Structure 1
Amino acid sequence: MLENPGIVRSFCEKCGTSIAYRDEGLNDELYVTIGFFDHPERFRPQAHAYWRLRLPCLEFSDDLPRIDTYSRRRDPAFGNPVVR
C-alpha cells in the first residue's frame, strides 16, 4: 500500500474499491469517487489536472483548462501529492 503523509484514502472493506480521498493540504475539502454517485453526469468537470501525467492515448475534445500540476490551492507545507 502506498502511504502519503497528509493523505487519507478510504476503500470498500469488501471489494477494495476507492471511495474517498482526504488531503490535509486541502483542509476543507473531501473528494468522493464519482462512481459512487447515482447521477455522476450532474458533476461537470471544470479542468483537467495533472495533464502532463495523463495516458498518451487519451484525448479530450473540450475547451477545459489543462493544468500540469495540482488544480486546487493547497497548503504548501504539505508539498505536492504527486511527489510524496
Structure 2
Amino acid sequence: MVRSFCEKCGTSIAYRDEGLNDELYVTIGFFDHPERFRPQAHAYWRLRLPWLEFSDDLPRIDTYSRRRDPAFGNPVDR
C-alpha cells in the first residue's frame, strides 16, 4: 500500500495498492464537493468494524472485485 498526503496539513489524498498496480484510489474528502460523488456500493464489507451498519440498499461487496497480483499477498492477512 502506498499512500499520499498533503504536505501542508497531512490530509489523505490517495492510495495505491501495489497488488492492483493500474488503479489509484482518491480519498473522497480530498474533493471540494464530495457530495457530488454518490456511493455505488460498500466495498470490503466483510472487513468493516463489527458494529458498523448502514440502512441503505447499496450492494455490499465482501471481497476484491479485481484480480490482484498474488506476489503482493492479501491485505486481509497483514
TM class, shorter-length: 0.7 to 0.9
Q: Deviations over 1:24-50 (max 9, x none)?
A: 222221111101112212222222122
> Are 2:25 and 1:62 equivalent residues in the alignment?
no
Over residues 32-80 of structure 1, what are the superposed CA-to-partner deviations in whole Å (9 max), with x where a residue is unaligned?
A: 1101112212222222122122223322122222222334332233221
Q: Which moved more, 1:30-39 or 1:64-73?
A: 64-73
**Paired position in structure 1 for 2:46:** 52
Higher mean alpha-carbon deviation, 13-22 vs 69-78, is at 69-78
Contact 2:11–2:30 (Cα < 8 Å) also in 1: no
- Alignment check: 8 A CA contact 1:19 1:33 kept: yes
Overall identity of the aligned pairs, in %: 96
Q: Secondary structure at the match of 1:77?
A: helix
Alpha-carbon spacing, 1:44–1:83, altered in 2? closer, same or farther (3 Å): same
Number of positions where the alignment pairs a residue of Structure 1 with one of Structure 2: 78
Indicate the SS of the match to 1:72. Answer: coil
Q: C-alpha displacement at 1:21, in angstroms? A: 0.2
With the length of structure 2 as denominator, give the TM-score of the two structures. Answer: 0.74
Q: Any gaps of 5 or more consecutive residues in structure 2?
A: none
Mind listing any 5+ residue stretches in structure 1 that lack a counterpart? 1-6
- Range moving further from structure 2, 29-38 or 66-75: 66-75
TM-score (norm 1): 0.70
